[in-house]
A and B are shown apart, each in its own frame.
Chain A
Amino acid sequence: MRCPNCRHDQKYQDGMTCQKCRYQFVFDPKSDNFHDSLIYQMVQQLSDNGQYYFTKTQLVMEIYKYRHKKESSSFGCLISAIFFGIIVAAILFETIGTFGSLGFGVIIIIAIIWIRLPKKWSILEAKKAIGRYHQIHPIEHLVDGKAFIRIPEARISPVHKIHSLDSIEQLADGKAIITMSGDMISPANHQIQSIQQPLVQKTAALQSQESVLNEFFFSPERILIVERDDIVDMLIRNHFHQNTKTVVVSQSGYPEFVFTACQHFLKKNPNLPVQVLHGISTEGFRMTNQLRNDAKWQFARSNLVELGISREDIAENKSSLPWACHINQDIIFSQKYNKMLTKNRHVPIDYVPPNCLLRALSGAVISDTLLLVALEEASHISYSYESYG
Chain B
Amino acid sequence: MSCLFGYCGLPAPGLLTKMANLLSHRCNLGWEQVNGKLREEYVIEIGHGIAPWCQNSQVMQHNQCFLGYAGTIFNAPFTLPFDTPDDISISHQMEQWLNDLTYAPNTRLEQLEGAFVMALALGENFYLLRDHAGVKVIYWTVHQGRLLFASEIKALFADSSVPRRMRSGALLEYLSFSFVPGKRTMFEGIEELQPGSILTFSQGQVKIRRHFEFEKQENFLQKPNARQYHTEAVRTALETSVQECCQVSTHKPPGVFLSGGIDSSAVLAMTCKTLPDVRIPTFSVNFGAEYPNENEFISLMQKRYRTNHHELEIRPADFMTQLREIVWHLDDPIGDPVTVPNYLMAKAAAKVTNVVLNGEGGDPCFGGPKNIPMLLTRLYGPMPGEPSQSWLARNYLHSFQRCYQDLTSLVDPAVFKEAGGEEALFAILEPFFNTASPQAFLNKLMSLNIRSKGANLILVKVEKMSSANGLLALPPLFSRRIIETSMACPPQLKLEGTIEKAILKQAVMDMIPEPIIARPKSGMMVPVQFWFQGEMRRYAKKLLSKKHLKRIGLLNPDYVKRLLNYEIEGVPGLRHGLKLWMLITFLLWYEQMVESFD
A binding-site residues for B, Cβ under 8 Å: 48-49, 51, 147-148, 200-201, 204-206, 208-209, 211-212, 215, 217-221, 236-237, 239, 241-243, 245-247, 255, 257-258, 261, 268-269, 355, 359, 379, 381, 383, 385-389
- Among B405, B442, B497, B569, the residue within 8 A (CB) of A219 is B497
Q: Could you tell me if B569 and A242 are in contact, using CB atoms closer than 8 angstroms?
A: no
Q: Could you tell me if B338 and A388 are in contact, using CB atoms closer than 8 angstroms?
A: yes
Instruction: Return B262 CB to nearest CB of chain A, in Å.
Output: 11
- Among A379, A381, A389, the residue within 8 A (CB) of B369 is A389
Q: Could you tell me if A387 and B572 are in contact, using CB atoms closer than 8 angstroms?
A: no
Q: Could you tell me if B375 and A385 are in contact, using CB atoms closer than 8 angstroms?
A: no
Q: Could you tell me if A386 and B372 are in contact, using CB atoms closer than 8 angstroms?
A: no
Instruction: Return B4 CB to nearest CB of chain A, in Å.
Output: 29
Q: Could you tell me if A386 and B388 are in contact, using CB atoms closer than 8 angstroms?
A: no
Q: Could you tell me if A208 and B398 are in contact, using CB atoms closer than 8 angstroms?
A: no
Ranked 7 nearest A-B pairs via Cβ: A389-B523, A387-B523, A217-B492, A205-B381, A242-B373, A219-B497, A385-B525
Q: Which residues of B contact A236 (CB under 8 A)?
A: 380, 383
- Among A209, A215, A247, A385, the residue within 8 A (CB) of B491 is A215
Q: Could you tell me if B568 and A381 are in contact, using CB atoms closer than 8 angstroms?
A: yes
For B540-584 the 0/1 string (1 means CB < 8 A from A) is: 000000000000000000000000001011101011011000000
Q: Could you tell me if B497 and A239 are in contact, using CB atoms closer than 8 angstroms?
A: no
The residue in A200, A205, A218, A243 that gathers the most chain B C-beta atoms within 10 A of its C-beta is A218
Instruction: Return B227 CB to nearest CB of chain A, in Å.
Output: 12
Instruction: Return B177 CB to nearest CB of chain A, in Å.
Output: 13
Q: Which residues of B contact A246 (CB under 8 A)?
A: 376
Bound-state CA distance A49–B521 (Å) is: 34
Instruction: Return A361 CB to nearest CB of chain B, in Å.
Output: 14
- Among A49, A201, A212, the residue within 8 A (CB) of B388 is A201
Instruction: Return B405 CB to nearest CB of chain A, in Å.
Output: 7
Instruction: Return A311 CB to nearest CB of chain B, in Å.
Output: 31
Q: Could you tell me if B337 and A388 are in contact, using CB atoms closer than 8 angstroms?
A: yes
B binding-site residues for A, Cβ under 8 Å: 261, 291-292, 336-338, 363, 368-369, 371-384, 388, 395, 398-399, 405, 440-442, 491-492, 495-498, 521-530, 566, 568-570, 572, 574-575, 577-578
Instruction: Return A18 CB to nearest CB of chain B, in Å.
Output: 25
Q: List 6 A-B contacts (CB under 8 A).
A: A215-B442, A217-B492, A245-B373, A359-B574, A383-B529, A386-B578
Q: Which residues of B contact A379 (CB under 8 A)?
A: 568
Q: Could you tell me if A48 and B569 are in contact, using CB atoms closer than 8 angstroms?
A: yes
Q: Which residues of B contact A201 (CB under 8 A)?
A: 382, 388
Instruction: Return B341 CB to nearest CB of chain A, in Å.
Output: 10
Bound-state CA distance A255–B378 (Å) is: 14
Bound-state CA distance A379–B574 (Å) is: 12
Bound-state CA distance A257–B381 (Å) is: 10
- Among B338, B441, B497, B568, the residue within 8 A (CB) of A215 is B441
Q: Could you tell me if B378 and A241 are in contact, using CB atoms closer than 8 angstroms?
A: no
Bound-state CA distance A147–B386 (Å) is: 11
Instruction: Return B526 CB to nearest CB of chain A, in Å.
Output: 6
Q: Could you tell me if A258 and B528 are in contact, using CB atoms closer than 8 angstroms?
A: no
Bound-state CA distance A51–B496 (Å) is: 34
Q: Which residues of A contact B491 (CB under 8 A)?
A: 215, 217
Q: Could you tell me if A212 and B375 are in contact, using CB atoms closer than 8 angstroms?
A: yes
Q: Which residues of B contact A215 (CB under 8 A)?
A: 375, 440-442, 491-492
- Tell me whether A389 and B261 are in contact in the complex, defined as CB-CB below 8 angstroms, given that A239-B398, A383-B529 are known contacts: yes
Q: Could you tell me if A242 and B395 are in contact, using CB atoms closer than 8 angstroms?
A: yes
Q: Could you tell me if A389 and B522 are in contact, using CB atoms closer than 8 angstroms?
A: yes
Instruction: Return B374 CB to nearest CB of chain A, in Å.
Output: 8
Q: Which residues of A contact B578 (CB under 8 A)?
A: 386, 388
Q: Could you tell me if A220 and B376 are in contact, using CB atoms closer than 8 angstroms?
A: yes
Bound-state CA distance A268–B495 (Å) is: 12
Q: Which residues of B contact A217 (CB under 8 A)?
A: 491-492, 495-497
| With A49-B570, A255-B380 already in contact, 17 other A-B pairs whose C-beta atoms are closer than 8 Å | A48-B572, A51-B405, A204-B382, A208-B378, A212-B379, A215-B441, A217-B491, A218-B497, A236-B380, A236-B383, A241-B373, A245-B372, A386-B525, A386-B577, A387-B522, A389-B369, A389-B522
Q: Could you tell me if A383 and B574 are in contact, using CB atoms closer than 8 angstroms?
A: yes
Q: Could you tell me if A237 and B383 are in contact, using CB atoms closer than 8 angstroms?
A: yes
- Tell me whether A385 and B291 are in contact in the complex, defined as CB-CB below 8 angstroms, given that A212-B375, A219-B497, A220-B372 are known contacts: yes
Q: Which residues of A contact B572 (CB under 8 A)?
A: 48, 51
Q: Which residues of B contact A355 (CB under 8 A)?
A: 568
Q: Which residues of B contact A51 (CB under 8 A)?
A: 405, 570, 572
Instruction: Return A271 CB to nearest CB of chain B, in Å.
Output: 9
Bound-state CA distance A255–B524 (Å) is: 37
Bound-state CA distance A319–B526 (Å) is: 37
- Among B261, B398, B405, B526, the residue within 8 A (CB) of A386 is B526
Bound-state CA distance A314–B243 (Å) is: 61
Instruction: Return B443 CB to nearest CB of chain A, in Å.
Output: 11
Bound-state CA distance A70–B294 (Å) is: 51
Bound-state CA distance A191–B164 (Å) is: 63
Bound-state CA distance A48–B524 (Å) is: 31
Bound-state CA distance A204–B381 (Å) is: 9
Bound-state CA distance A261–B375 (Å) is: 12
Q: Which residues of A contact B369 (CB under 8 A)?
A: 389
For residue A232, which residue of chain B has the nearest CB? B380
Q: Could you tell me if A261 and B382 are in contact, using CB atoms closer than 8 angstroms?
A: no
Bound-state CA distance A195–B338 (Å) is: 50
Q: Which residues of A contact B441 (CB under 8 A)?
A: 211-212, 215
Q: Which residues of A contact B526 (CB under 8 A)?
A: 386-388
Q: Could you tell me if A268 and B375 are in contact, using CB atoms closer than 8 angstroms?
A: no
Instruction: Return A270 CB to nearest CB of chain B, in Å.
Output: 10
Instruction: Return B393 CB to nearest CB of chain A, in Å.
Output: 14
Instruction: Return B415 CB to nearest CB of chain A, in Å.
Output: 20
Q: Could you tell me if B497 and A388 are in contact, using CB atoms closer than 8 angstroms?
A: no
Bound-state CA distance A242–B573 (Å) is: 13
Q: Which residues of A contact B440 (CB under 8 A)?
A: 215
